[in-house]
Structures are given as C-alpha cells and as structure tokens.
Copies of this chain bind each other. A is one copy, B any other.
Amino acid sequence: MVKNTRRTQRGEASLSRERIVEAAIALLDEHGESGLTFRALSEELATGAGAIYWHVANKGELLSAACDAMVARAMDAAVTAAPPRETVRILGLGLFDAIDAHPWVGAELARSPMKMPMVRILEAIGRQMRTFGVAEQELWLAASSLLNFILGVAGQNAANSEYARAQGLVRASFFDAVSSAWSALDEDAFPFVRSMIVPMREHDDRADFLAGIDLILDGIAAR
C-alpha cells in the first residue's frame, strides 16, 4: 500500500469507490438528482472523468451504490429487540425519515429492480414477518406487500420533494399548491378528490405511513 503515501500524507485520500460514493451522496443531498454529474463529481474529487470510471462502471451503478449506503445505514439503525409489529414500524419509519431527508433515495428505490438496496429491506421486513408468526406459504406475500407499500410511499415522497424543490417551494406550500389544483377540478367528474381537499391538507405523511403499515399488518393477521 505504498502507492498513494504521498497523497495520503497531504491529507487527500487517494481515489476509491468509497470516496466517490461519498462525494456522490454529498452532491445528491445538496442539489438533488440533477446535481449528480460526472463533471461535478470530477471537480469535487479533483480528478478527471476517466478516473471515476476506473472505480465505477457507470452512473446507474453509482446511484445504486449511493442509495444502498443510505438504506444500509437506515436498516442498521433500526435494529431492536422489540416485538415484530413494533420493529416493522421502526424499520419503516427509519426508511421514511431517510427518504424524507434524502429524496433521491426514494426515487432510486422506486426504480431499482430486485437488487441490493431492496434486498436489505426485504430481509429486515421478512425476518419480522417470520417472528410475527406468518405461515410459511404466506411469507412471500406478506413481506412483498409490505415492501411494495413502502416503496410506493417512498416514491411519492421523493416525487413531492423533487417537485417542491424544482418549484422552489417548502413542504407546506407544496400541499397548498395541490389543494388549489384540486379545487379547480370539475365537481361532477371528481367528487371524491374534491371532498378530500381538507383531509389531504390536514394529513400527516408520517402518521399515514404508519397507519398504512398497520392496515397491512392487520390484514395479514386476519388470515
């Protein structure tokens, strides 16, 4: 490991997959999804684009790795000895908060096929379903339903945040904008949505997310 002694001594770690992913996370957090470009990354890391490609296959892999790092962190933080129902809530909330703080994680999760970041979530949820007492032949359904719900919420939250960012709005005024859009809908064509304007405005994403998980757990328990 003599190769980069000089750089290390100067306080600049040599280029590595880890450092690249770290820098990518910083860019994504600061400027949103559109903030991650190989040019910005090169500048941040003081190298050329080609150097990054030596450590990472392409942008997709980079995004996926960044997402995975965040999800792994959230899953690890949610390790408890609580009963399964409570643990699933903690897991879910951990993910919810991570996505709330880093919307791009939700967007990437909603895109990623059955690869690593999702496998982690499936593992964490599935274990709880098993201790929850779900029958063996229903485990896949229980775990994947919960997962799909969580991914749906994740995607929506991320979309809302990105949209709000693009419009330069804060969270509260985003829902103001939605509510005025819904007010303009035709009463005959959209009676239900119009009747939801007030509930939508008063709703609490976090609380609804938890309640949704409970709904599904109730449905599972009812079998």
- List the B side residues contacting A216 at CB < 8 Å: 145, 149, 215-216, 219
Is the CB of A168 closer than 8 A to any CB of chain B? no
CB distance from A110 to the nearest CB of B (A): 4
Give the CA-CA distance A185 to B150 in the complex, in Å.
Answer: 23
CB distance from A115 to the nearest CB of B (A): 8
- List the B side residues contacting A119 at CB < 8 Å: 182, 185, 190, 193
Give the CA-CA distance A163 to B60 in the complex, in Å.
Answer: 11
Q: Which residues in chain A, 187-211, are within 8 Å of chain B measured between CB atoms? A: 189-193, 195-196, 199-200, 203, 208, 211
Give the CA-CA distance A203 to B142 in the complex, in Å.
Answer: 12
Is the CB of A159 closer than 8 A to any CB of chain B? yes
- List the B side residues contacting A222 at CB < 8 Å: 218-219, 222
On whether the beta carbons of A111 and B212 are closer than 8 Å, the reply is no
- List the B side residues contacting A153 at CB < 8 Å: 148, 152
Interface with B: A7-15, A43-51, A77-85, A122-130, which one? A122-130
Interface of chain A, helix or strand or loop or mixed?
Answer: helix
Interface residues on A, range: 35 or more
CB distance from A188 to the nearest CB of B (A): 11
Give the CA-CA distance A142 to B215 in the complex, in Å.
Answer: 9
CB distance from A189 to the nearest CB of B (A): 8
- List the B side residues contacting A174 at CB < 8 Å: 113
Contact A159-B192, Cβ < 8 Å, known A149-B152, A208-B141, A216-B216: no
Is the CB of A101 closer than 8 A to any CB of chain B? no
